[in-house]
A and B are shown apart, each in its own frame.
Chain A
Amino acid sequence: MLDLLVIGAGLTGLTAAYTAAKSGLRVKVIAKGLGAMHWGAGTLDILGYLPGEEGAVKRPLAAISQLPDGHPYRLAGDVAGVLATFVALTEEIGLPFQREVGRRLTQINADSENLLLPSPVGAARPAFAAPVGQLGGDLSRPEPMLIVGFTGLRDFYPQLIAENLTRQGYPARAAFLPLAVVSGRRDNTAVSIARELDNPDQRQKLAQALRPLLKPGERVGLPAILGLDDHMQALADLQGLMGTAVFEIPTLPPSVPGMRLFRALEERLQRLGVRVEVGMEVTGANRGWRPETRDSQSPISNLQSPISIEWVETETSARPLKHRARAFLLATGGILGGGFESDVNGRVWEPIFNLPLTAPQKRSGWFRPAFLDPQGHPVFNGGVAVSPDFRPVDGAGRPLFANVWAAGGLLANFDPILERSLSGTAVVTGMAAAQAIVEHVKCEP
């Protein structure tokens, strides 16, 4: 039997599965679809903004103390330690996250400052660490930037980026190359170009076309296209050929940096014996109770002591499949990840275990008037309340199940998009919850 079944294949689920498998647990990951990694910038964002505050957070680990009680970081305890584990994992999988090009990230503490990296619209986006391919864009570096796009690539606008960066005091200019330089396809996305640049010949052609555009002393910013499977070599090749720093700026989804990370993590998990099975939607759990009966009284509310889940069931290839495990980690990601559902009556619910949510249960409580309200929208701040060891709890703080944990975007009391902590909270809570699960499983007979 499995020790741990992880539900959700986002950054939370994968890092949790890694942590548990590394500790010797038998782990499997099942998911309905891919997680938010494929949408995001692919950086490690710990904390970029405190809700309602104008300026970016300078020292994110130090700022954790200013977060409200119940924030996932406040539960996790040793945030820096968990992050160090994640950074080591990125090195293990060959996509090292760093804060300075070429320097292994070994020191993470309360003094560590956020980087500012160019966003696809030319804003300065705070991130704690990034894959080395994005680090050349560090806005604290003095070299002016040449932002190069491709004529006809609809997901990247170098002139807009350059103008906004320049206006904020980061000198940049823009240039275009024809798409034909890197691709023979008619219709291109960053992903299709990245696949092209897995081929060393295409890198040669790109460097050749770029060289005449470059002025001495400039660094080169490109959309995130430098290879999908062979990224590190593509990056090294291009920097070697150009003789200057070359960096990537993330694009509209799908996210090439996110895809690289997903693929590398998945491969690492496979080597640890963990299967990642996507296309499996959980449709029920044991005790004859199914999530779609959400209208009926929750079966868990009247119980004296927490029950155990024996299995969850998925609908796969037109047949139900039971997945038994000693422990279950729910990492389905809230509203963004598809872990919560909601309806016209203002109900928000978690369909697998019917966990109670802190989200307002009426639509009039969900939103603030402006889309870009600096306080965000309350519906996205709600989620699953958990104990300090990441077990879903009832209103009185008692665990609801003996063997269910929850981590990532579905947790209560924070808005990971508003505060720019999506990947940070995923990693920290995923790994911390996995640690708790490891202890639990190892203590059980």
Chain B
Amino acid sequence: MTKHLDTNILVIGGGATGTAVAWDASLRGFKVVLVERRDLTQGTTGRFHGLLHSGGRYAVKDPHGARECIQENRILRRTHAHCIEDTGGFFVVTPEDEGDYPDRFKAACDEIGIPCAEIPVREALRREPLLNPRLSRVFEVPDGSADSFLAAHATADAARRAGAQILTYHEVTNLIVDNQRVVGAQVYNVATGETFAIHAAMTVNAAGAWTGKIAAMAGIEVLILPSKGTMIAVNHRVVNTVINRCKLPADGDILVPSHTVAVIGTTSVEVADPEPLRIETWEVEKMLAEGNKLVPGLSQMRILRAWAGVRPLFQETYTGGGRDVTRKLALLDHEAREGVAGFLTITGGKWTTFRLMAEAAVDKVCEKLEVKRPCRTADTPVPGAEQGHYWLGHRLHEVEEQHLQSELICECELVTRAMLENAVKRNPTLTLDDLRRDVRLGKGPCQGGFCTYRAVGILHEMAQAGAYRPDADAWDAAFLQSPGKNREPLSVNRDRNTDYSLPNTAPPSPNLLLRDFLQERWKGIAPILWGKQLRQERLDELIYLSLMNADHLPDAELTSPSSDFYHYDATPQEDANA
């Protein structure tokens, strides 16, 4: 082994939890390396509805999980303010939601300390005119809408500033176990093909739905119950407030305003593997049918996209369905459990409780390493939080105020060329999907129809100019999504503690970038293609086949580390049980 890294703590997983563990541990003075096999947030963190829970959803059934939610809700509004839109939330009682649940709900919220006020239905309808007018009761709670992409970047950036190394596209191929102790991991850089070892005093497994797979490398069985949740985005922001059905959690009972769209979710389906995640026809139909109960006519609106994430549910002895598993965090001390030292697993929980999960994990790390270092994350806003909560029109406002119309590469999501270029420098960019997660490229109504070509052209120009290389100074996630703040060249000077510089990966073939992203977009629209969106899709075909002839370009044989991930059959199938 020619090359290896030494660190105190190795974190496996680049989602909300993993980045927060890296942040927490580096704030406590540990040397940290985080490895993620693909891009940050490519797992469940980038595949949920973006709901910042008040805890109301779990108040009746899972008070412990609910308590964690409201506590963390309050903290994240400070530490990650700019990653949250303060929408507030309603719990609404529809004609189908009978019984004493609303009263039990209110009592449980009061008991736990979740601010919950019943408001007149008339008032709720005044604020949300598209809501079902036949609601009987409405409760207001402090739910919010969160940008989990930005939040993970912001957390990772904070970790970096505290000295952590964040290595995306680094896959753990094996854990190094020495005498019943995990002492690090073998890592494969999927971009360069390089393999090396990372040695660490403690290894924290924060791999989400892939937790069991990582633990198995140390011979440990962790029973994760992968539960698929499917969501769909409606091409209108039909509500400005998070809407929950006031009943026991079930399918399709949450509607979240998210940037310019609204997201309805979710299903809960046990799956054998966390990927690929097929979206079944019944799931789409169910989301639309349930959505109609909250917003009549929702099923007739244009649907933009469907996606699914996997909840990494954990239960010691699993008996019931996915909805019955507690949503509180699970910290597994493998030394106490299986006699394997140097190794912790942090799983379960919710996006809302990611910081708390990290705190629990790093507390345990301190205990294992026999040091006393208090957690600081709850009182340390990440860079960018000083901007306050984001609001729906901020991008348009900046574009208009600064006359950036000519810079727009993605008109649907108001992405400028400079945003794109800076994002390329921030992270190893192996696919345009990486940029989608960074700056929302291709997320709008045309689903990449126009911006795919433009982004490919721009990335190719950057490569030709030698500008397609990571620039550690560009690692400023605070303004990742700001058209106005990405105009000046970034020049952030800060102390860095890196003995493994960002891998200088070769720019990918533009033709591969194009093909990959077209297929990536396709897998998310195929389940919901009909009506206007089907016509839009046909226009995309006209552009990429008839006009571009993009299916007859060089490099047809090349694949990216994510190509396989995009290539599964996402098209609607006959339901087996229909």
Q: Which residues of A are interface residues toward B (Cβ below 8 A)?
A: 36, 39-41, 45, 48, 56, 119-126, 152, 154-157, 159-160, 163-164, 167-168, 186-188, 250, 252-253, 255, 335-336, 338, 341-344, 346, 362-364, 366-372, 374, 379-380, 416-418, 420, 422
Instruction: Decide if A121 touches B539 in the complex (CB within 8 Å).
Output: no
| Most chain B CB neighbours (cut-off 10 Å) among A121, A122, A338, A416 | A121
Cα separation A366 to B533 with both chains bound (whole Å)? 14
B457 within 8 A of A: yes
Please give, as numbers and ranges, the residues of chain A lying within 8 Å of B149 by CB-CB distance: none
Partner of B541, one of A123, A154, A417: A417
Cα separation A229 to B173 with both chains bound (whole Å)? 62
Nearest chain A CB to B230 CB, angstrom units: 15
Cα separation A335 to B11 with both chains bound (whole Å)? 49
Nearest chain B CB to A45 CB, angstrom units: 7
Instruction: Decide if A154 touches B454 in the complex (CB within 8 Å).
Output: yes
Please give, as numbers and ranges, the residues of chain A lying within 8 Å of B285 by CB-CB distance: 344
B553 within 8 A of A: yes
Q: A41-B546, A335-B535 are contacts. A120–B405 as well, Cβ < 8 Å?
A: no
Q: How does the 8 Å CB contact mask read for B456-472 relative to A, with 1 for contact and 0 for none?
A: 11101100100000000
Please give, as numbers and ranges, the residues of chain A lying within 8 Å of B571 by CB-CB distance: 364, 366-369
Instruction: Decide if A369 touches B568 in the complex (CB within 8 Å).
Output: yes
Q: A40-B547, A119-B549 are contacts. A367–B554 as well, Cβ < 8 Å?
A: no
Instruction: Decide if A379 touches B534 in the complex (CB within 8 Å).
Output: yes
SS of A interface (majority): loop
B519 within 8 A of A: yes
Q: Can you give 8 contacting A-B residue pairs, CB < 8 Å?
A: A39-B539, A123-B553, A124-B549, A126-B549, A163-B510, A336-B539, A367-B526, A417-B545
Instruction: Decide if B535 touches A121 in the complex (CB within 8 Å).
Output: no
Please give, as numbers and ranges, the residues of chain A lying within 8 Å of B541 by CB-CB distance: 380, 417-418
For the A-B complex with A121-B548, A159-B460, A186-B403 known, give 6 more contacts whose Cβ atoms are closer than 8 Å.
Answer: A121-B549, A157-B457, A164-B554, A187-B406, A252-B454, A369-B571
Cα separation A252 to B519 with both chains bound (whole Å)? 19
- Top 4 nearest A-B pairs (CB, nearest first) are A157-B457, A371-B522, A123-B549, A369-B569
Nearest chain B CB to A134 CB, angstrom units: 12
Cα separation A23 to B572 with both chains bound (whole Å)? 48
Cα separation A41 to B531 with both chains bound (whole Å)? 25
Instruction: Decide if B569 touches A372 in the complex (CB within 8 Å).
Output: no
Instruction: Decide if A119 touches B547 in the complex (CB within 8 Å).
Output: yes
| Most chain A CB neighbours (cut-off 10 Å) among B403, B519, B534, B543 | B534
Instruction: Decide if B551 touches A363 in the complex (CB within 8 Å).
Output: no
Residue of chain B at shortest CB distance from A421: B546
Cα separation A420 to B571 with both chains bound (whole Å)? 24
Please give, as numbers and ranges, the residues of chain A lying within 8 Å of B552 by CB-CB distance: 56, 123-124
Partner of B510, one of A36, A40, A160, A338: A160
Q: Which residues of B are interface residues toward A (Cβ below 8 A)?
A: 281, 284-285, 288, 299, 403, 405-409, 417, 450, 453-454, 456-458, 460-461, 464, 510-511, 514-515, 518-519, 521-522, 526, 529-531, 534-535, 538-539, 541-554, 567-574
Instruction: Decide if B568 touches A123 in the complex (CB within 8 Å).
Output: no
Residue of chain B at shortest CB distance from A125: B549
Instruction: Decide if A253 touches B543 in the complex (CB within 8 Å).
Output: yes
Q: A343-B530, A371-B519 are contacts. A157–B538 as well, Cβ < 8 Å?
A: no
Residue of chain A at shortest CB distance from B572: A363
Instruction: Decide if A154 touches B573 in the complex (CB within 8 Å).
Output: no
Nearest chain B CB to A307 CB, angstrom units: 30
Instruction: Decide if B453 touches A252 in the complex (CB within 8 Å).
Output: yes
Instruction: Decide if A417 touches B546 in the complex (CB within 8 Å).
Output: yes
Instruction: Decide if B519 touches A160 in the complex (CB within 8 Å).
Output: no
| Most chain B CB neighbours (cut-off 10 Å) among A45, A338, A417, A422 | A417
Cα separation A374 to B550 with both chains bound (whole Å)? 12
Instruction: Decide if B531 touches A120 in the complex (CB within 8 Å).
Output: no
Q: A122-B553, A186-B403, A343-B530 are contacts. A372–B515 as well, Cβ < 8 Å?
A: yes
Please give, as numbers and ranges, the residues of chain A lying within 8 Å of B544 by CB-CB distance: 372
Instruction: Decide if B534 touches A45 in the complex (CB within 8 Å).
Output: no
Instruction: Decide if B460 touches A123 in the complex (CB within 8 Å).
Output: no
Cα separation A127 to B546 with both chains bound (whole Å)? 10
Partner of A370, one of B453, B538, B553, B567: B567
Please give, as numbers and ranges, the residues of chain A lying within 8 Å of B515 by CB-CB distance: 372
Instruction: Decide if B409 touches A164 in the complex (CB within 8 Å).
Output: no
| Most chain B CB neighbours (cut-off 10 Å) among A120, A155, A367, A416 | A367
Q: A41-B546, A168-B554, A363-B572 are contacts. A121–B453 as well, Cβ < 8 Å?
A: yes
Instruction: Decide if B549 touches A364 in the complex (CB within 8 Å).
Output: no
Please give, as numbers and ranges, the residues of chain B lying within 8 Å of A40 by CB-CB distance: 542, 546-547
Please give, as numbers and ranges, the residues of chain B lying within 8 Å of A380 by CB-CB distance: 538, 541
Cα separation A168 to B553 with both chains bound (whole Å)? 9
Cα separation A156 to B572 with both chains bound (whole Å)? 35
Cα separation A164 to B453 with both chains bound (whole Å)? 14
Instruction: Decide if A45 touches B546 in the complex (CB within 8 Å).
Output: yes
Cα separation A71 to B416 with both chains bound (whole Å)? 44
Please give, as numbers and ranges, the residues of chain A lying within 8 Å of B534 by CB-CB distance: 335, 342, 379
Residue of chain B at shortest CB distance from A42: B547
Nearest chain A CB to B289 CB, angstrom units: 10
Partner of B572, one of A124, A187, A366: A366
Q: A160-B457, A252-B450 are contacts. A369–B538 as well, Cβ < 8 Å?
A: no
Cα separation A97 to B531 with both chains bound (whole Å)? 35
Instruction: Decide if B530 touches A363 in the complex (CB within 8 Å).
Output: yes
Please give, as numbers and ranges, the residues of chain B lying within 8 Å of A338 by CB-CB distance: 535
Instruction: Decide if A39 touches B551 in the complex (CB within 8 Å).
Output: no
Nearest chain B CB to A29 CB, angstrom units: 21
Please give, as numbers and ranges, the residues of chain B lying within 8 Å of A39 by CB-CB distance: 539, 542-543, 547
Residue of chain A at shortest CB distance from B454: A154
Residue of chain A at shortest CB distance from B570: A369
Cα separation A416 to B547 with both chains bound (whole Å)? 12
Please give, as numbers and ranges, the residues of chain B lying within 8 Å of A168 by CB-CB distance: 554
Cα separation A363 to B279 with both chains bound (whole Å)? 13
Partner of B409, one of A45, A154, A363, A372: A154
Cα separation A337 to B460 with both chains bound (whole Å)? 33
Instruction: Decide if A160 touches B405 in the complex (CB within 8 Å).
Output: no
Residue of chain A at shortest CB distance from B571: A367
Q: A41-B546, A336-B535 are contacts. A344–B288 as well, Cβ < 8 Å?
A: yes
Please give, as numbers and ranges, the residues of chain A lying within 8 Å of B409 by CB-CB distance: 154
Please give, as numbers and ranges, the residues of chain B lying within 8 Å of A253 by CB-CB distance: 539, 543, 547
Nearest chain B CB to A396 CB, angstrom units: 29
Q: A41-B546, A160-B456, A187-B405 are contacts. A335–B538 as well, Cβ < 8 Å?
A: yes
Nearest chain A CB to B63 CB, angstrom units: 39
Please give, as numbers and ranges, the residues of chain A lying within 8 Å of B510 by CB-CB distance: 160, 163-164
Cα separation A45 to B542 with both chains bound (whole Å)? 13
Please give, as numbers and ranges, the residues of chain B lying within 8 Å of A344 by CB-CB distance: 284-285, 288, 299, 530-531
Instruction: Decide if A121 touches B572 in the complex (CB within 8 Å).
Output: no
Cα separation A40 to B543 with both chains bound (whole Å)? 7
| Most chain B CB neighbours (cut-off 10 Å) among A48, A152, A154, A367 | A154
Please give, as numbers and ranges, the residues of chain A lying within 8 Å of B549 by CB-CB distance: 48, 119, 121, 123-126, 420
Please give, as numbers and ranges, the residues of chain B lying within 8 Å of A370 by CB-CB distance: 519, 522, 567
Cα separation A121 to B452 with both chains bound (whole Å)? 11
Cα separation A163 to B457 with both chains bound (whole Å)? 11
Q: A121-B548, A163-B460 are contacts. A364–B573 as well, Cβ < 8 Å?
A: yes
Instruction: Decide if B531 touches A336 in the complex (CB within 8 Å).
Output: no
Cα separation A255 to B454 with both chains bound (whole Å)? 16
| Most chain A CB neighbours (cut-off 10 Å) among B284, B403, B405, B549 | B549
Nearest chain A CB to B565 CB, angstrom units: 14
Please give, as numbers and ranges, the residues of chain A lying within 8 Å of B535 by CB-CB distance: 335-336, 338
Cα separation A18 to B545 with both chains bound (whole Å)? 29
Partner of A188, one of B406, B453, B530, B547: B406
Cα separation A336 to B406 with both chains bound (whole Å)? 28
Nearest chain A CB to B522 CB, angstrom units: 4
Please give, as numbers and ranges, the residues of chain B lying within 8 Å of A363 by CB-CB distance: 281, 529-530, 572
| Most chain B CB neighbours (cut-off 10 Å) among A187, A362, A363, A422 | A363
Partner of B542, one of A188, A379, A417: A417
